[in-house]
Amino acid sequence: MEAGIRGWGAYIPRFRISATEIATLWGYDAKLPKALGVVEKAVAEEDEDAVTMGWYAARVAIRRAGISGEDVDAVFFGTESKPYAVKPSATIVADALGVKRRKLSTDLEFACRAAGEGIRISIGLVKGGLAQNALVIGSDTAQANPGDLLDFTASSGAAAFVIGSPSKSPAVIEASVTYVTDTPDFWRRDRSPYPEHGEIFTGEPAYFHHILSAVKLLLDEAGLKPSDFDYAVFHQPNGKFPLQVARTLGIPQEKVLPGLVTPYIGNTYNASALLGLAKILEEAKPGNRILVATFGSGAGSDAFSVVVKDSIYEAVSRGPKVSDMINSRVPITYSTYAKFRGLYLRNIGG
Amino acid sequence: MGAYIVGGAVAKVDRHFDRGYRDLAYEVTKECSGCLDVDYIVVSSALPELTAHQVDLGTHIAQWLGRRVPVIRVESGETSGLAAVDLAASLVASGRGRKVLVLGVEKVTDYPTYTANYFYSLMLDYEFEVLRGVSPPAYAALAMKELMKDGVRRECFSSWAVRMHENAASIPHAMLRFKISYDSFKDSQVLAEPLTLHDSFALGDGAAAVVVSNSPDPKASSVEILFSAAEVELPAYSRERISDLNASSKLLKLSLERYGLDLRRVAVELHDSYTPYPIAILRSLGYLDSECDLSELEYLNVSGGLKARGHPIGATGIYQVYEVFKLLTDKLGGKTSPSDYGLVHSMSGPDNVSRVLILRR
């Protein structure tokens, strides 16, 4: 037993832009959204950013954990779209939540998996006695070069988890591993507004290799096999890759679909797999075992085996559900999307 | 004095993300007995200045292979491979070399598709075509439209791709070793209406080697390079019809007539960068009617062609020569050529230059 998930929370902006509209605007084949497995994606409004979304998710996570900000000993903020290039986001959220001053607090960056590593760091802190409760937030307003393939998926959303004692947790993390290499499949250079990616290179040698390697390590170390899991959730850059990973591992689609959120809200980067995990926790039964694997370009993957406990129902009732946030949607046009995401160049003021 | 192919080897055509051109060249020569026992090296590569920032690639490869023999690099667009074999045959025939290693290598997948496609489009005339936005698939689409106006049905082009994938499924070094169906064309991405992704070659990294000798190898199977010719055609924008691939048709017709060959019995590797091109060539030679029945052409692109074996541009011609060599001396895809003759055809762009090689066992 490594540590427990004491609470979790999510935030998904209600605005949605359809993949068909993006395809039409940029002259893509109308079949492309289906090929990517994406129907629409969530768009943060003008006054939202990674910090505001992360704060909301974290507030719910703390409420679900049945603790207060004063009980949190560490805050980790995983993002690749922090509002300040230099100045931590974690401290803003921590102060807004009333987290005590004697704490660890920092931002983590590793493309889409920094929050995954934050959970692993938190497990270490809890097991080592340096923290009773660690708050991990994954939040992004992901950027995409307008008209690039990423424009179909790069979206906004946040997930937060309070990691603490397994005995006080509605779900326990029974095993976890991390697998990391230097694989340049996706990057954004300093002062560049949008990331670049290596197209197909982001697939086999990056996403698939790292997730499969992490999951295989996890299975070996925990003595588990794919059939031992009732649910599986993988990082979701599109709607197809997670299903392909599941097929490779011999995990049936039914165990993946409950946590597959990208087709409806896009790829929320640091929140991607974690929103899937949050949704599964809200639907799972005590005793269920969940396989979780994050992925971040660069590249790395964290794999977790999570077992749901009897107290899950009470925890679920303490906060809004992911499925409700997915269903609460306001369609917008590309022009509104462009306005919300600051894609228009404007002169403001003098 | 004649010229003979006495050995060779090929690497799998693939996206070799973890290997550079040196690794691929080394790997393929290691697999090829006699590849380094040579007194001359000809390297065929079309794009190394663009993709590897490397000038004088031949010398650097010879250094990497630890050979101090003379080396020269050949570039003639997509026909670089056959041009290199042609040069090697001349070297041994003239006595300048006894045994020549002809090594094709190309590394193209280190770049995003739009960059790789741009490099590939430079096979066309930069000032007259590339700068004006004319691209290879645009020409292929126009050729397809012309053929469709002539009554060639869409299914005809699809049947080429289906057949190439069927063939490649049993070729270990092929890039796309899976079958496709006619239905898959419905979902295929449009490159330039009516041309789809399924009508296009597969771009891959690769390396292939053959050894050209001035005499047959008494200890191993050899084939003679009987005929090697090339012809330059008018630029596509100056032709009446883009689908008239006159240089290719003329060279192939000449080859078949001179040696009394029938493509129904002869192993042939045709350059099929886009499906309209081989269809146009076979129609001009009288081997295809409007039904496009390919079933009688059993030894046609046994490798799966550029379509499915893949197209590592400057190395592709060496793959083709190696494949026909295998069909004549051993087996490829479970087949052995019933005829003593084999044909290799290559062209750059829409028949800008075409080359034909005839091998005889």
ipTM of the complex: 0.71
Q: How many domains does chain B have?
A: 2
- Give the pLDDT band (50/70/90) at residue A346: confident
pLDDT of residue A260: 98
| Contact residues on chain B for A201, CB-CB shorter than 8 A | 15, 17
pLDDT at A1 over 80: no
Tell me the CA distances in angstroms from B101 to B55, B119, B318, B324, one per residue in order: 20, 27, 11, 17
Contact A200 B15 (CB under 8 A): yes
Supply the pTM of this predicted model: 0.85
Q: Which of B109, B113, B189 sits opposite A29 (nearest CB)?
A: B189
pLDDT of residue B57: 97
pLDDT by residue, tens only, chain B of 361 residues: 699 999 999 999 999 998 999 999 999 999 998 888 999 999 999 999 999 999 999 999 999 999 999 999 999 999 999 999 999 999 999 999 999 999 999 999 888 888 999 999 999 999 999 999 999 999 999 999 999 999 999 999 999 999 999 999 999 999 999 999 988 887 788 899 999 999 999 999 999 999 999 999 988 899 999 999 999 999 999 999 999 999 999 999 999 999 999 999 999 999 999 999 999 999 999 999 878 899 999 999 999 999 999 999 999 999 999 999 999 999 999 999 999 999 999 999 999 999 999 999 9
Q: Are residues B70 and B46 in the same domain?
A: yes
CATH assignment at residue B93: 3.40.47.10
Residue B300 in domain: yes
Domain range for B60: 4-111+205-213
Residue B126 in domain: no
Q: Are residues B81 and B145 in the same domain?
A: no
**Residue recorded with tokens 């190394």:** B48
Q: Are residues B106 and B142 in the same domain?
A: no
- Name the closest residue on chain B to residue A206, using Cα atoms: B17
pLDDT of residue A335: 97
- Name the closest residue on chain B to residue A197, using Cα atoms: B112
Whether chain A has a CB inside 8 Å of the CB on B113: the answer is: yes
pLDDT of residue A231: 98
Q: Confirm if B304 and B167 have CB atoms less than 8 A apart.
A: yes
Average pLDDT in chain A: 96
Tell me the CA distances in angstroms from B336 to A27, B25, B169, B329, one per residue in order: 47, 27, 17, 8
Chain A nearest-CA distance from B189, in A, is 7
Which amino acid would we find at residue A23? A
Q: Are residues B95 and B71 in the same domain?
A: yes
Pairing of strands B40-44, B99-106: parallel
pLDDT of residue B292: 87
Q: Which of residues 255-314 of B touch A (CB under 8 A)?
A: none
Contact A205 B17 (CB under 8 A): yes
**Residue recorded with tokens 């799998």:** B12
Whether chain A has a CB inside 8 Å of the CB on B193: the answer is: no
Q: Which of B112, B187, B190 sits opposite A198 (nearest CB)?
A: B112
Best of B17, B114, B176 to mutate (most A CBs within 10 Å, chain A): B17
Helix (H, G, I), strand (E, B) or coil at B76: strand
| Contact residues on chain A for B113, CB-CB shorter than 8 A | 199
Q: Are residues B234 and B209 in the same domain?
A: no
| Contact residues on chain B for A29, CB-CB shorter than 8 A | 189-190
Helix (H, G, I), strand (E, B) or coil at B222: coil
Whether A235 sits among the annotated catalytic residues: the reply is yes
Structural domain ending residue among the three candidates B154, B182, B213: B213
- A232-286 pLDDT tens trace: 999 999 999 999 999 999 999 999 999 999 999 999 999 999 999 999 999 999 9
Residue B119 in domain: no
pLDDT of residue B291: 81
Q: Are residues B140 and B54 in the same domain?
A: no
pLDDT of residue B188: 86
Whether chain A has a CB inside 8 Å of the CB on B112: the answer is: yes
Chain A nearest-CA distance from B322, in A, is 29
Chain B nearest-CA distance from A23, in A, is 13
| Contact residues on chain A for B17, CB-CB shorter than 8 A | 201, 204-205
Q: Confirm if B168 and B177 have CB atoms less than 8 A apart.
A: yes
pLDDT of residue B187: 79
Q: Which of B17, B187, B189 sits opposite A201 (nearest CB)?
A: B17
- A157-191 pLDDT tens trace: 999 999 999 999 999 999 999 999 999 999 999 88
Whether A80 sits among the annotated catalytic residues: the reply is yes
The mean pLDDT of A321-327, rounded to a whole number, is 98
Residue B118 in domain: no
Task: Name the active-site residue from A40, A210, A235, A282.
Answer: A235
Q: Confirm if A140 and A250 have CB atoms less than 8 A apart.
A: no
Q: Are residues B22 and B46 in the same domain?
A: yes
- A71-101 pLDDT tens trace: 999 999 999 999 999 999 999 999 999 999 9
Pairing of strands A289-293, A298-308: antiparallel
Q: Confirm if A141 and A194 have CB atoms less than 8 A apart.
A: no
With a pLDDT cut of 90, the percent of chain A lying above it is 94
Structural domain ending residue among the three candidates B213, B241, B265: B213
CATH number, domain A3-340: 3.40.47.10
Q: Are residues B61 and B154 in the same domain?
A: no
| Contact residues on chain B for A31, CB-CB shorter than 8 A | 187, 189
Q: Are residues B54 and B103 in the same domain?
A: yes
Residue B117 in domain: no
Q: Which of A29, A196, A204 sits opposite B190 (nearest CB)?
A: A29
Task: Name the active-site residue from A112, A117, A197, A282.
Answer: A112
Cβ-based neighbour number of residue B166 at 10 Å: 15
Tell me the backbone φ, ψ of residue B342, rounded to 5 degrees: -145, 145
Chain B nearest-CA distance from A296, in A, is 19
Q: Confirm if B319 and B199 have CB atoms less than 8 A apart.
A: no
Cβ-based neighbour number of residue A60 at 10 Å: 22
Chain B nearest-CA distance from A52, in A, is 35
Q: Are residues B33 and B148 in the same domain?
A: no
Q: Indicate if the alpha-carbon torsion angle A157, A163, A169, A173 is positive or negative.
A: positive
Which amino acid would we find at residue A119? I
Best of A26, A28, A29 to mutate (most B CBs within 10 Å, chain B): A29
- Taking phi over 0 as left and psi of -120 to 50 as alpha, with beta for the rest, B212 belongs to beta
pLDDT of residue B186: 79
- Give the pLDDT band (50/70/90) at residue A222: very high
Q: Confirm if B271 and B277 have CB atoms less than 8 A apart.
A: yes
Cα A48 from Cα A50, distance rounded (Å): 7
Chain B nearest-CA distance from A298, in A, is 15
pLDDT of residue A350: 61
Give alpha helix (H) positions in B73-190: 80-94, 113-121, 136-149, 154-168
Q: Are residues B80 and B61 in the same domain?
A: yes
Residue B89 in domain: yes
The domain locations on chain A are 3-340
Task: Name the active-site residue from A2, A48, A80, A282.
Answer: A80
| Contact residues on chain A for B19, CB-CB shorter than 8 A | none
Q: Which two tokens stand for residue A77?
A: 């903020």
Residue B120 in domain: no
Residue B123 in domain: no
The mean pLDDT of A36-47, rounded to a whole number, is 97
Say how many CB pairs under 8 Å bridge A and B. Answer: 19
Q: Are residues B97 and B141 in the same domain?
A: no
